[in-house]
Chains A and B, each alone.
Chain A
């Protein structure tokens, strides 16, 4: 092996190792944060007690932890924390996928109309007095219909179809936003609770909701991780991706369906939480490069950690009042985002 070759290979390997280390680090941080934040709240619970509860669940040891403490942990805080982890991973992973699909760092499910149709779907379910478990379904159905309507529309035009898709998405977003507002205002008092939910909160999520969300979300994240090569090829443009042998239309359909599904579920149960899908993938891309083999798993874990952190801040900063989580994600995300942009010498913004 010649010398330059060795060096080059080493350079690349170190990039991969760095990403591997970051993955482990993020996983560790998320676990520690989850353990710590389980203890935070109106009733403070020590990590020892928490571990005791889990230990007794696993049949490892009987503990002297009071029943109320166990209920607070298991029924109130644990589902919420799991929801934060899942939702964060979903938003960040779908943001990553959308940015590759649209070859635009500004793209995320919120901009291209998926989330506005999801929230309109959930609002409709609310006004039709459907049970809460239906919110996700109506949200998903409406966002899926919208995603494919936009997709078909963009195929009819000429020129760059992804740009069209983006523009159509923005148009449809505004329309759905207006419709949603109309419903809310015409509902009067009842609309207010919906408005709060739309601002984003993980506080309403219990085991019932989590049961509906968990499998599709985990599945969706897995699919996006498995499509990392396809996402890489999308970066090079649709025409070149086809020259390289990729069935672009099929990949686009899969990406839109999966993203519509998992984003709709997150909007239906956690409301609209902005900035996660934009900041987390973008920041990680600036540090670790654009290869989606690294980026998608990093973004999934990074989003999970970021949203868990934001949710912890939302419920503790001005306790007992809870902040809408969207306020926290924007307040924390935006400055980090700006610093990253200023520091980056990358062309990832092109």
Chain B
């Protein structure tokens, strides 16, 4: 099991954020953590990466990464297993694309000349896959939002992780760039058996890409399963407080179509 979370509860400044979260993600699985704002998605990700925050308190539960208990892992060990693509980065300009991608090598061990050459060629191939080679020398400040997000993805992949976390990584991108990044990552789950934990609040993105989804509702798990099992009108009503129709697509997937309160004759009335 790549990620195993059992009964994790967490308080921040004495306010309960997570309550008894249990889930696991298998090797090569694209696992989505779906929930509205404030449901505890990002907190859960931070717990999995052993980031506490000054007033955070974990109340029991256990987390295992690639079969190893999280407490037994040092910061560097964790970075060798898990890489995170954040929603935004506060990186200022002044670094080139390649320099930024190479930040991902911090935790990577490369002592001999052969190892270093292998690491460099991995950086090359990651950048090639993401179409970043032509930008290698450019200042990251000059990139568009979509390009910059790809640089952050490349940096995470340069860590050569077993588990990749997308923490709302495409939340501020247009739908084309969001789908492009998710597709690139989806291919990696197939080609390299990369495990992906994707935190999203876009229901249709989760529906389109996830092998399984965990729905979070105010710090509790409201259900885990395939998109068809989880994305039901009833659960969406409970968790997101929306009226929605769930449609079957021609390719056998599903799509969620919310209805809007200002339109007459919709489900809201």
Q: A239-B51, A242-B75, A246-B106 are in contact. Are A348 and B92 (CB under 8 A)?
A: yes
In A325-350, the 8 Å CB interface with B consists of 346-350
B interface size (C-beta, 8 A)? 42
Q: A236-B103, A242-B51, A247-B75 are in contact. Are A350 and B98 (CB under 8 A)?
A: no
- Chain B residues with CB under 8 Å of A346's CB are 93-94, 139, 141
Q: A254 to B184: give the CA distance in the assembly, Å.
A: 39
- Chain B residues with CB under 8 Å of A350's CB are 92-93
Q: Using A158-B54, A235-B92, A240-B90 as known contacts, list a sample of 17 further A-B pairs with CB atoms less than 8 Å apart, ordered by residue number in A.
A: A5-B128, A8-B98, A8-B137, A10-B137, A11-B136, A12-B96, A232-B99, A232-B103, A233-B106, A243-B86, A244-B103, A245-B80, A245-B106, A289-B94, A346-B139, A347-B92, A350-B93
CB–CB B134/A290 < 8 A: no
- Chain B residues with CB under 8 Å of A155's CB are 54
CB–CB A285/B94 < 8 A: yes
- Chain A residues with CB under 8 Å of B267's CB are none
Closest to A350 in B: B92
CB–CB A8/B75 < 8 A: no
Q: A289 to B95: give the CA distance in the assembly, Å.
A: 6
B-side interface residues toward A, CB under 8 Å? 13, 46, 49, 51, 53-55, 74-76, 78-80, 82-84, 86, 89-96, 98-99, 103-104, 106-107, 124, 128, 133-137, 139, 141, 155, 159
* Residue interface mask A218-236, B partner, CB < 8 A = 1: 0000000000010011011
The 8 closest A-B pairs by CB, nearest first: A245-B79, A245-B107, A290-B94, A11-B137, A347-B93, A8-B136, A347-B141, A4-B134
Interface centre among A8, A242, A245 (most CB of B within 10 A): A245
Closest to B137 in A: A11
CB–CB B92/A244 < 8 A: no
- Chain A residues with CB under 8 Å of B79's CB are 243-245
Q: A347 to B141: give the CA distance in the assembly, Å.
A: 6
- Chain B residues with CB under 8 Å of A103's CB are 90, 92
In A10-26, the 8 Å CB interface with B consists of 10-12, 15
Chain B min CB distance to A161 (Å): 8
